[in-house]
Amino acid sequence: MGFMSIVQQIIGGFGTTLFIFFFTLLFSMPLGILFALARMSKFKPLNLFMQVCISILRGTPLMLQLIVVFFMPYYVFGIKLSTGWRVYAALIGFSINYAAYFGEIFRAGIQAVPVGQHEAAEVLGFTKTQTFFKIVFPQMVKRVVPPVTNEVITLVKDTSMAFAIAYAEMFTMAKQVAAQQSNIMPLFVAGLFYYIFNIIVAWVMGRIEKKLSYFE
Amino acid sequence: MKKMIALLLAGIMCAGLLTACGGSSSPAATDTKTEEAAPAETETAGDEAAAVDTAAASEETAESMTFTVGFDAEYPPYGYKDETTGDYTGFDLELAEEVCARRGWTLVKQPIDWDSKDMEINSGAIDCLWNGMTYTGREEDYTWTEPYVDNSIVIAVNADSDIQTKADLAGKMVVAQAASSADTALTNDPGDGSNDENLNLCATFSGYETIKDYNDAFMQMSAGVYDAIAVDIGVAQFQLAANEGKYRILDEPLSKEQYAIAFAKGNTELRDMVQETLNEMAADGTIDKIVANYADFNLPEMLIIGK
Amino acid sequence: MSLFEINNVKKAFGDLTVLHDISVKVDEGEVVAIIGPSGSGKSTLLRCATMLETMDSGELIYLDEKAAHNDSSGHTVYASNTDLRRIKGYFGLVFQNFNLFPHFSVMRNLTEAPIHVQKRERGEVEAEARELIRKMGLEGKENYYPQQLSGGQQQRVAIARALAMNPKMLFFDEPTSALDPELTGEILKVIRQLAQEKMTMVIVTHEMGFARDVADRVIFMDGGYIVEEGHPENVISNPSEERTKQFLARFSGQGAINE
């Protein structure tokens, strides 16, 4: 059983890890914007509701949230589950959890845009929606790149929690290969995969940061 | 703006619910099929010849039925990842494959987080737990097939360890897999004194810990973290074979145990179908053929179905 | 006919009343300078006029169109958002801190609102913007970003941005206060040029010499009241009120009156 064969088996799980990673980012970022807007809403009930949601999502383990999302249809609504539901539950669980973190980062980013920007836009006659998308959003994006990079790197590693609801990703595969060979090597190989992937993520985010450095 | 946000949020929630319903529609369909088959069998009960016909008919209607086996993929030789193909295999999964082939079912091999097995089976996410699952002591928790493997729980130690008998375990660090039968054997107090021998033994250890999987336990024992491992004999034999001369097993077992296949409590219908096919496989020698692949693990000696 | 009118405006922040029943009228082509110590309410008056701040009571009229009027109980009621958006097109505002959009080039700072708010044709807007950039002495800076420009250049972009909307009048909120002294001259020059072109302007400023030279009328505010108002020669060079004299005395020592 050579090194290459270990790598090959782990690559099988890497696809699943990438799948969770990309779709979680795809869903959680827009959702995070909505969370941030709801969190800043002047409509008190919505604001309060969002505050409670974010508090729970950030204050309880992601693993528990995944289990709740996966089993809720059965334990709350009595709907029998299928194995196909796992992937949806994983994506919903990850996306909502990460949206809570992104939401708070985005909120800080939005609030850091100086009030003068809003006033300049208001005097020029921009609507609130135009002001948000044309003026506030691009400046917010620049401000949130470093903290978002942190979260994205954490997400790469958090994907391994998908196995809480039996969605087998790379780390689970690595553990299975380790068990099959009673050898610790596959775990290190998996670690190497995570590390290389995160170097790529950090590089990409660094490029984005550089691209946005044309303004302050 | 406020309205827009509210609308978007509502939209996302609706989408979430729709996906939820969509995702769970397939097991509902599976359920319907099983229910359809059930009254047919009751009607013809008492007439054996007719029952066979209906069984054949119900097999036809259940042609596309999936049979989802929940297992721990880090539990060789019962369920694990094959070295060369990378597929999930093992003694139990090979048996399940044969059962499904004979029944015309589509087998889904679902590795699960063993700690969540009860939620998995109760919610219908899996149809059965088939993975060297200990029947002894859990008789009332699930609907079981008849036991098919007899498995002892033994103590494994490093080959050069000074531990020879259970008495030598006094003052030593012992480990077992969390939520495993070895763990149950050492810590479960039924309150009637039936397990006092093992409980008293456990009290003599300097420490007793549980760990996520046995592979870790063996790696950590060779690293000196633990002195002994309480483990099912099949797993112990596998580790001994994979690491020649590194470990040995104490002569005295901790307890004798039997394995069976667990279904959600009350799901006797599916259990009966699997049992019937297993009996056929035992009668025509198929199980003996399959178990021969696992001679390294003493499995043929442990097999009790059809004996 | 007056171009701009704010009548009987009252404004309080909590218990602190910052504007006591103030009225100002500005005719077309007129340049009005508002002076006064900090905390006198002059900035708040400007913010009420440009609707960045809401009035508690009072009327706001541009070109005979009521942006705000008093209801029967004397509280300000604003016109509909659609009306306000149109009325906001009548004036421009230049901020103390420029408030340029940092992520837009100079060109886009000028063109974004005319294209997306006024829905004007891009080619025409860009041609006008280029002309304004030239007029402000910023040729060749079209594709620069604000952070690449000096403070004086940024403020000239801000003036150009306000002018790009083709407003009937401009408000300036201490346009040189955030600038190094050697850079204020270039801004004052631009405003002077606009005055010569008969641009209607209301300027809150600390530059007394400039106010005297360029303004048709000077308003001195203190404590939320208009203390003195009139021709600059009268108010600045020869004030009649004691408070005005005290205020101006502080400046004369620094030679700020003589620009």
pLDDT, tens digit, 9 for 90 and up, residues B228-242: 999 988 788 888 888
CA distance B208 to chain A (A): 22
Strand partners, C230: C218
Residue C144 dihedral angles phi and psi, to the nearest 5°:
-75, 155
The secondary structure of A117-132 as a DSSP string is HHHHHHHTT--HHHII
Distances in Å between the alpha carbon of A21 and those of A27, A86, A146, A155, B152?
10, 15, 18, 7, 43
- Chains near A, with 3+ CB pairs < 8 A? B, C
Residue C77 dihedral angles phi and psi, to the nearest 5°:
-120, 125
In whole angstroms, give the CA distance from residue B191 to residue B194: 8
pLDDT score of B307: 65
Cβ atoms B284, B208 nearer than 8 A:
no
Strands across the sheet with C57-62, in order? Answer: C16-27, C2-13, C57-62, C65-70, C76-78
DSSP code, position B69: E
What does the pLDDT look like over C4-50, one tens digit per residue?
999 999 999 999 999 999 999 999 999 999 999 988 999 999 999 99
3-state helix vs strand vs coil in chain B, percent to 5: 50, 20, 30
- A142/C147 Cβ within 8 A: no
Residue C35, C-beta contacts closer than 8 angstroms, at least 6 positions apart: C42, C204, C205, C206, C208, C211, C218, C219, C220, C221, C236, C247
User: What is the domain range of residue A112?
Assistant: 3-215
In whole angstroms, give the CA distance from residue B302 to residue C255: 107
In whole angstroms, give the CA distance from residue B123 to residue C234: 89
- Chains near C, with 3+ CB pairs < 8 A? A
For residues B72 and A82, which has the higher predicted lDDT (pLDDT)?
Answer: B72
> Does A125 lie at the interface with C, CB-CB under 8 angstroms?
yes
In whole angstroms, give the CA distance from residue C54 to residue A117: 18
Pairing of strands B262-263, B255-259: unpaired
pLDDT score of B262: 95
Instruction: Give how many domains chain A has, as a whole number.
Output: 1
pLDDT score of B1: 46
Residues of chain C with a CB closer than 8 angstroms to some CB in chain A: 50-52, 85, 88-89, 92-93, 95, 97, 99-103, 112-113, 116-118, 145-147, 161, 165
Across A168-185, average pLDDT: 84
* Percentage of chain B lying above the pLDDT 70 cut: 79
DSSP code, position A134: I
DSSP code, position A161: G
What does the pLDDT look like over C157-169, one tens digit per residue?
999 999 999 999 9
pLDDT score of B25: 34
| Residue B194 burial (CB count, 10 A) | 12
A-chain residue closest to B9, CA distance: A34
pLDDT score of B144: 95
CB nearest to C102's CB, from A124, A130, A216: A216
In whole angstroms, give the CA distance from residue C210 to residue B60: 98
A-chain residue closest to B240, CA distance: A182
What does the pLDDT look like over A8-65, one tens digit per residue?
888 888 988 999 999 999 999 999 999 999 999 999 999 999 999 999 999 999 999 9
In whole angstroms, give the CA distance from residue A14 to residue C58: 67
* Percentage of chain C lying above the pLDDT 70 cut: 97
Task: Specify the 3-state DSSP secondary structure of B116.
Answer: helix
In a 13 Å sphere around the CA of B208, the CA atoms on its Cβ side amount to 21
Residue A192, token pair as written in the block: 């190497």
Cβ atoms B292, B300 nearer than 8 A:
yes
In whole angstroms, give the CA distance from residue B37 to residue B21: 25
Strand partners, B173: B207
> Does A24 lie at the interface with B, CB-CB under 8 angstroms?
no
With residue B77 as reference, give the H or E element that holds it: none
Strands across the sheet with B262-263, in order? Answer: B106-111, B66-71, B128-129, B262-263, B143-144
The CATH code of the domain that includes A155 is: 1.10.3720.10
> Does B18 lie at the interface with A, CB-CB under 8 angstroms?
no
> Does B106 lie at the interface with A, CB-CB under 8 angstroms?
no
Across B165-188, average pLDDT: 89
Mean pLDDT of chain A: 92
- A120/C103 Cβ within 8 A: no
CB nearest to A182's CB, from B112, B122, B215: B215
pLDDT at B20 over 60: no
Report angle CA B61, B63, B65 to the nearest 5 degrees: 100
Which of the four pLDDT bands, split at 50, 70 and 90, describes residue B26?
very low
Dihedral (CA of C224, C226, C228, C232) sign: positive
Which of the four pLDDT bands, split at 50, 70 and 90, describes residue C187?
very high
> Does A38 lie at the interface with B, CB-CB under 8 angstroms?
yes
Residue B135, C-beta contacts closer than 8 angstroms, at least 6 positions apart: B144, B147, B257, B258, B259, B260, B262
Cβ atoms A179, C109 nearer than 8 A:
no
Task: Specify the 3-state DSSP secondary structure of C13.
Answer: strand
Which of the four pLDDT bands, split at 50, 70 and 90, describes residue B272?
very high
A-chain residue closest to B22, CA distance: A85
pLDDT at B22 over 60: no
For residues C99 and A185, which has the higher predicted lDDT (pLDDT)?
Answer: C99
Residue A5, C-beta contacts closer than 8 angstroms, at least 6 positions apart: B83, B84
Nearest partner of C73 among C25, C10, C6, C15, judged by Cα:
C10
What does the pLDDT look like over A85-118, one tens digit per residue?
889 999 999 999 999 999 999 999 999 999 999 9
Which of the four pLDDT bands, split at 50, 70 and 90, describes residue C252?
low
Which of the four pLDDT bands, split at 50, 70 and 90, describes residue A1?
low
pLDDT at C251 over 90: no
Residue B267, C-beta contacts closer than 8 angstroms, at least 6 positions apart: B127, B143
| Residue B49 burial (CB count, 10 A) | 7
pLDDT at C86 over 70: yes
> Does A97 lie at the interface with B, CB-CB under 8 angstroms?
no
Distances in Å between the alpha carbon of A140 and those of A35, A66, B67?
15, 30, 50
> Does B215 lie at the interface with A, CB-CB under 8 angstroms?
yes
CA-based radius of gyration for chain B: 23
Cβ atoms C62, C87 nearer than 8 A:
yes
- B124/A81 Cβ within 8 A: yes
Burial, B208: exposed, middle or buried (Cβ in 10 Å; 0-12, 13-18, 19+)?
A: buried
In whole angstroms, give the CA distance from residue B92 to residue B110: 13
If you search the block for the tokens 């704010």, which residue do you land on? C6
Helix A3-40 to helix B2-43 angle (10° resolution) is: 130
Across B144-164, average pLDDT: 91
A-chain residue closest to B69, CA distance: A83
DSSP code, position B137: T
Burial, B73: exposed, middle or buried (Cβ in 10 Å; 0-12, 13-18, 19+)?
A: buried
CA distance A69 to chain B (A): 10
Across C202-215, average pLDDT: 90
DSSP code, position B158: E
Residue C115, token pair as written in the block: 């294209």
Residue C7, C-beta contacts closer than 8 angstroms, at least 6 positions apart: C23, C58, C59, C60, C61
Cβ atoms C164, C114 nearer than 8 A:
yes
Mark which residues 80-99 of B lie under 8 Å from A by CB: 80-84, 86
- For residue A134, the chain C residues in CB contact (below 8 A) are 112, 116
